[in-house]
Amino acid sequence: GRLEAVTQQMGYHPQYLDSFLKTQHYLMHMDGPLPFDCRHYIAIMAAARHQCRYLVNLHVLQFLRAGGDPQWLRGLEFIPPKLRNLNEINKILAHRPWLITKEHIEKLLKISEWSWSLAELVHAVVLLAHCHALASFVFGCGCEQDEGLGGRGSLKPLSLGNQCFCEATAGNSYSQELLRINRKRSLDSCMELDSLRERMQRIHVETEGRDEMRLLQQDREEGEGQGAEVGVQGGSSYGTPGLLSPLADTDGEVTGATNLACYMQDPDFGYQDFARRDEDQTQVFRVQDYSWEDHGFSLVNRLYSDIGHLLDEKFRMVDGLQSSAMAKRQGCEPSVFKRGIWNYIHCMFGIRYDDYDYAEVNQLLERILKVYIKTVTCYPEKTNSEMFDRFWKQFKHSEKVHVNLLILEARMQAELLYALQAITQYMI
């Protein structure tokens, strides 16, 4: 129940929020192939790829509530090999999904006692794509601006008139009920916080002395100047290797993920343009050969019951959102404008539609908007408030949130298409 900043931003589009909450609740809290603690740890791994502290902090707490082993929060070296083997596909999906092959799938499904089942892998893939795309939304809408667990940060203040946020979702019974449950969970979490603090403090005490001695030894070996440099680096996203991730600070507050690097390997691996001019043309993914509607939906729904229907509803919901104001300002029909954004995002991941004239993208999307979309989609951790403010200054905040929802869903579908196609090829 700690997605306040995200749900407030999505609250500008209540129908979409309802669909999003249903999907996320099903992924994280309903019956499925994966244990609940593993689901949240996979979410931590996915969010860490984009240095998204907001989501990592959220899922660290939920991981512990689900009965997860606190030792796992020390990093990938402390988790079961089965989960650790997911790291490669997590890295590729997050940054260059077109590199995923059936060999990656085969490796996960055929590792003796650490092997994944097809159903488990599909659940994991959907979780990874969901959290990668949600990280884009978090950075795109400024929810990462406040690193506190409540996540109050946003780039613009809400303007829902005299309504409170919950009232803004009136008519969506599921949203209202889930938000009521989330408020109750937030109250319950206050009572749980003392218990969580004790658990985190216990882990901290167990390793504090050893880490302190190691750092002191390092200071003596590298000299005073180098030691000071290490101290400064400890405040960055990557911190000092080996330090415990979530700790209790001096005020007794839980501060998660001081060192996101412990949750990933090869941190320098990032997005590269799909078709670089100095390289041979990479194989293009053609939707006519493998699409969500004709292939992905049935596969994911068969291996992970009902999730296909929820994802499909969410894709359709974002496509059906009203955007007449955006389109009018660009001088085109709403469907044309939205398709331009969607196809531009897919194009950056090497996905092409044979029936689309890509010259329209340059006509519909001004350069500053394209820069914003590419940043939020491909390397969201580089997004800042200035970029958000600069594009479409004359547009309402809700219209900018709409663009971020399109980014979220288009990116998620792109990752799923590549992963599900690889799974299909393996099954064949």
Which residues does the annotation mark as catalytic?
52
Q: Would you list the DSSP string of 121-172?
A: HHHHHHHHHHHHHHHHHHHHTTGGG--STT----SS----TT--TTGGGTT-
Query: For the CA atoms of the chain, what is the radius of gyration?
Result: 22
- Only one residue has tokens 């059906």, namely 320
| Side-chain-facing half-sphere of 315: CA atoms under 13 Å | 20
Query: Phi/psi at 254 (nearest 5 deg)?
Result: -80, 125
Count CB-CB contacts under 10 A for residue 295: 16
Residue closest to 119 by CA, chosen among 295, 292, 306? 306
Exposed/middle/buried for 262, CB within 10 Å: 0-12, 13-18, 19+?
buried
Q: 241 to each of 17, 91, 123, how far by Cα in Å?
A: 38, 19, 30
User: Which residues, 6+ apart, have CB-to-CB distance to 370 below 8 Å?
Assistant: 344, 361
DSSP alpha helix (H) spans, 273-396: 297-303, 307-320, 324-330, 334-348, 359-364, 367-378, 385-390
**Start-to-end CA span in the chain (Å):** 41
Scored b (16 or more CB within 10 A) or e, 47-67 reads: bbbbbbbbbbbbbbbbbbbbe
Cα 95 from Cα 377, distance rounded (Å): 10
Q: If 0-12 CB within 10 Å is exposed, 13-18 middle and 19+ buried, where does residue 282 land?
A: middle
User: How far is Cα of residue 136 from the mean position of the Cα atoms in its chain?
Assistant: 6
CB atoms inside a 10 Å sphere around CB 115: 14
Q: Are 172 and 18 in contact (CB under 8 A)?
A: yes
